[in-house]
Amino acid sequence: MSKRILMVADVSAEAVHGGAERMLHHHLRALVGAGYDVTMLTRQPTPDAEVCIELPQFGIQEFRFPFSGDKGYQGLKELKSAAKQWWKHHQDDFDVVVSEQPFVMWALLAAGCKLPRLQVCFSFAFEEYETRHALDMTAKHKVAIQAMKKLEAKVYKSADALMGLSKFTQDRMHHFFGLAQDACVINPAAADEFQGLHISQHDEVRAELGWETPVVTTLRNLVPRTGVDLLIQAAAIVKVTHPDVKFIIMGDGGLRQSMQKLADELGVADTVTFTGYLPEEDVQKRLLASDVFVLPTRGLEGFGLVTLEANAWGTPVLATPISANKELVPSIIHNQLADNASPLALAEKVIWMTENPLGQAQRIRTQEDAFRQYNWQKHDQKLLQMVEALAEGGA
């Protein structure tokens, strides 16, 4: 009989909205493909969402704890109450847990789950929360940060095995929670080869999009830590000497309005375009057609999956020297790190890279380098080895 895996996450696998869902989708595909009997458990993405759905792309079910969306104490109470009831009826249904985020897993632990568990860590929730409130920090926020840190400590310290995507995450795990340096296994992610497009179509897709001048793109959630404001300020500097360079900002978030206002105030509304969320094919076309992709991170880049997604099209990446960017970005040929995390440093590199665009042969070499070093076959092998060790009783 195949081993029964409970996949736990704070995001739903119903649709992909960002890196967390991308990683979740890939792990589900890997586990199902390896023959495991997998069930997905998360929380409602919205209060009116169904509490149980089918995921036809994986052939599995997704259960969802009722959740109002409250990100504070009330929300934790809701998850804890839901977990208690759900676990009472399902505690004998699984052999191993694979968990990708902390909150639903915390509720499941409180409900009495003691199954062997692989805990995957992409970033820390308490740090994300801290960056979101860096400019309006109050005593209440500080209390919430400490509570979240304590919650995450419980989740990570109680895991039978830990997996992260970068040495940056491994180091943070050691620093924050006192775990042994090698307790968290580093297993870098990769990028999928998007079907229906080819790297040779770079010029064709540019023509289809109407791009006649150098184009710089980014794909980010519009929140403080992702640093999109740095890129907009860099665009203003670039415009002084290179007014033909265009900037495309894909993605959305709470700072969308203030970012557009910043672009207006800096006089770059004509060179900076906000697309909002785009269908996957439209995102991939823009990654392929770009001259440069920029990752203007302010902080907490646990890996930077989008770096590989751009490199998968041969597009060179420029990033700030922050967090895991310092590991991943310079490891692939033709990528660049800015001298520091400032608009001027980004602008200087953008100018140099758009003045020296990669030719077809160089783009192919970037793509090949990315796929050679970072591929899902390597990632899956390590993931499945860790799950199998837990399933056989040897974490």
Q: Read off the pLDDT of residues 261-291 as tens digits, 9 standing for 90 and up.
A: 999 999 999 999 999 999 989 999 999 999 9
> b/e for 170-195, b at 16 or more Cβ within 10 A?
bebbeeebebeeebbbebbbbbeebe
- Residue 1 pLDDT level (bands cut at 50, 70, 90): low
pLDDT value, residue 141? 84
Q: Is 61 helix (H, G, I), strand (E, B) or coil?
A: strand
**Least confident range of 190-194, 227-231, 374-378, 387-391:** 190-194
Percentage of the chain lying above the pLDDT 90 cut: 85
pTM for the model stands at: 0.88
Q: Do domains 4-190+375-391 and 199-373 have the same CATH topology?
A: yes
- 395, pLDDT greater than 70: no
What residues form DSSP beta bridges with 319?
295, 337
- Residue 8 pLDDT level (bands cut at 50, 70, 90): very high
Alpha-carbon distances of 303 from 142, 170, 307, 315, rounded to whole Å: 26, 11, 9, 18
What residues form DSSP beta bridges with 96?
5
- For CA atoms 123, 129, 130, 133, give the dihedral sign: positive
Task: Report how far residue 226's alpha carbon sits from residue 229's, in angstroms, rounded to the nearest whole number.
Answer: 8
Torsion of CA 289, 291, 295, 296, to 10 degrees: -130
Contact predicate 271/246, CB 8 Å: yes
Name the CATH superfamily, with its identifier, for domain 199-373.
Answer: Glycogen Phosphorylase B; (3.40.50.2000)
Residues 6+ apart with CB under 8 A from 257: none
- Residue 24 pLDDT level (bands cut at 50, 70, 90): very high
Name the CATH superfamily, with its identifier, for domain 4-190+375-391.
Answer: Glycogen Phosphorylase B; (3.40.50.2000)
- Residue 151 pLDDT level (bands cut at 50, 70, 90): very high
Average pLDDT, the chain: 94
Look at the block and give the residue holding tokens 């929300």. 75
Task: Report how far residue 325's alpha carbon sits from residue 337's, in angstroms, rounded to the nearest whole number.
Answer: 8
What residues form DSSP beta bridges with 218?
249
The token duo for 81 is: 């109450």
Length of the chain: 395
| Cα of 65 vs its chain's centroid, Å | 23
Contact predicate 301/359, CB 8 Å: no
**Least confident range of 94-98, 124-128, 234-238:** 124-128
Residue ranges of the domains in the chain? Answer: 4-190+375-391, 199-373
pLDDT value, residue 394? 47
Burial class (CB within 10 angstroms; exposed 0-12, middle 13-18, buried 19+) of 203: exposed
Task: Report how far residue 268's alpha carbon sits from residue 236's, in angstroms, rounded to the nearest whole number.
Answer: 6
